[in-house]
């Protein structure tokens, strides 16, 4: 039976995310207070897309990632609407390792669910997470975007799962964004199929320490963000970013590649460290302190 659709628009706000955080490859994610706002309604016929801000040059057709995610949910819930009108106000930089694709997927699945009457009952949050991660291919950015805060994600019996933790309020994420972009797939292609056992054991220990550091022991952040699992293999594809990470870490700052790069994330422990990051950042890089987004993706209530 074809679903019944909501008559008015649905508005979803989704945060940027930084995944991996050093040793937590494909598992850890942090939601950041930088947001895309996406509004959709069921139209009379066809597809209409308006894009402002980041990604304004993207194709306005069925290949758009928000639309693809919406189509998956509509299909899951029983059928497609007669038309879709979509408006995107994008602030998350694209192809910079800040979760823009994950945010687009989360926006799409949440919009489609909100436009179907009874959608939340038919597609509860845990199934929504699993479906969004299936579209993305890995759950780390998806989990942080959906749940907010600090997340640990994994796959169990073929479906993504996640738990959410509160990040220590003393920590301020600082994002360094270069003008150049990078491909997530190309960054993954640089990774070896196997790593030495001692490196795997090192990563497991540091990832466990990182959870403790982020949730109450920030003094351990520099040691906890040391990585041997993926960053050095990706280095040839983003030499400037790796040099920036090295320089910041030499200065005693907890710096990592954000996601697949090329942006760099610093987990600053106080205002002095925030200022030091800004002083060390190249002029051509955008340096932005951001709060941790504690809310995650959500439907914005309609104005009365």
SS3 sequence, the chain? CCCCECCCCEEEEEEEEEECCCCCCCCEEEEEEEEEEEEEEECCCEEEEEEEECCCCCCCCCCCHHHHHHHHHHHHCCCCCCEEEEEEEECCCCCCCCCHHHHHHHHHHHHHHHHECCHHHHCCHHHHHHHHHHHHCCCHHHHHHHHCCEEEEEEECCEEEEEEECCCCCCEEEEEECCCCCCHHHHHHCCCCCCCHHHHHHHHHHHHHHHHHHHCCHHHHHHHCCCCCCHHHHHHHCHHHHHHHHHHHHCCCCEEECCCCCCEEEEECCHHHHHHHHHHCCCCCEEEECCECCCCCEECCCCC
**Taking 60 as the threshold, does the pLDDT of residue 304 lie above it?**
no
Q: Which residues of 48-80 are buried (b: 16+ CB within 10 A; e: fewer)?
A: ebebeebbeebeeeeebbbbebbbbbbebbeeb
Residue range 227-275, pLDDT digits in tens: 999 999 998 999 999 999 999 999 999 999 999 999 999 999 999 999 9
Angle, CA 222 vertex, CA 22 and CA 198 arms, to 5°: 55
Cβ atoms of 107 and 128 closer than 8 Å: no
Instruction: Write out pLDDT tens, residues 24-38.
Output: 999 999 999 999 999
Cα–Cα–Cα angle for 244, 247, 250, nearest 5°? 145
User: How do 83-90 and 28-42 pair as beta strands?
Assistant: antiparallel
Considering Cα of 11, then 290, then 125, then 160, what sign does the dihedral take? positive
Question: Tell me, what's the pLDDT at 230?
Answer: 92
Residue-level pLDDT at 197: 96
pLDDT-derived band at 303, boundaries 50, 70, 90: low
Whether residue 31 contacts residue 145, with contact meaning beta carbons closer than 8 Å, is answered with yes
Whether the model clears a pTM of 0.85, i.e. scores above it, the answer is yes
Q: Determine the Cα–Cα distance for residues 4 and 6; give it in Å rounded to an integer.
A: 7
Taking residues 136-142, what's their average pLDDT? Answer: 96
Diameter of the chain by CA atoms?
Answer: 61
Q: Quickly state the pLDDT bin for 181 (edges 50, 70, 90).
A: confident
pLDDT recorded at residue 279: 96
What would the mean pLDDT of 38-46 be, rounded to a whole number?
A: 95
pLDDT in the model for residue 302: 77
Predicted local confidence at residue 189, as pLDDT: 84
Q: How far apart are the first and last CA of the chain?
A: 32
Percentage, residues of the chain above pLDDT 70: 99
pLDDT over 70 at 209, yes or no: yes
Q: What is the mean pLDDT of residues 119-146?
A: 97
pLDDT at 182 over 80: no
> What average pLDDT does the structure give for the chain?
95
What the chain holds in terms of domains, given with CATH numbers, is 10-165 (3.30.230.10), 172-289 (3.30.70.890)
172-194: average pLDDT: 86
């Amino acid at each position: 039976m074809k679903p019944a659709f909501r008559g008015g628009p649905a508005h979803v706000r989704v945060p940027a995310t930084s995944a991996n955080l050093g040793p937590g490859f494909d598992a850890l994610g942090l939601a950041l207070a930088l947001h895309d706002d996406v509004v959709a309604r069921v139209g009379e016929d066809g597809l209409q897309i308006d894009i402002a801000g980041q990604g304004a040059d993207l194709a306005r057709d069925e290949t758009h990632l928000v639309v693809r995610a919406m189509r998956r949910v509509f299909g899951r819930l029983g059928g497609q609407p007669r038309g879709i009108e979509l408006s995107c106000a994008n602030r998350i930089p694209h192809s910079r390792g800040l979760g823009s694709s994950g945010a687009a997927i989360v926006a799409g699945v949440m919009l489609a669910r909100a436009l179907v009457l009874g959608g939340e009952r038919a597609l509860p949050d845990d199934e929504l997470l699993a479906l969004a991660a299936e579209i993305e291919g890995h759950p780390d950015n998806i989990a942080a975007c959906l749940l907010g805060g600090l997340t640990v994600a994994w796959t169990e019996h073929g479906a993504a799962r996640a738990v959410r933790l509160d990040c220590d309020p003393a920590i301020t994420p600082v994002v360094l964004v270069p003008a150049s972009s990078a491909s997530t797939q190309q960054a993954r292609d640089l990774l070896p199929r196997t790593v030495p056992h001692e490196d795997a054991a090192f990563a497991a220990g540091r990832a466990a320490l990182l959870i403790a550091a982020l949730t109450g022991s920030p003094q351990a952040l520099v040691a906890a963000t040391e990585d041997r699992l993926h960053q050095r293999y990706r280095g040839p594809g983003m030499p400037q970013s790796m040099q920036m990470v090295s320089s910041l870490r030499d200065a005693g700052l907890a710096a990592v590649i954000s996601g697949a790069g090329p942006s760099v994330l610093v987990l600053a422990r106080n205002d002095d460290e925030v200022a030091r990051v800004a002083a060390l950042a190249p002029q051509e890089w955008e340096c932005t302190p951001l709060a941790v987004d504690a809310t995650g993706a959500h439907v914005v209530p309609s104005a009365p």
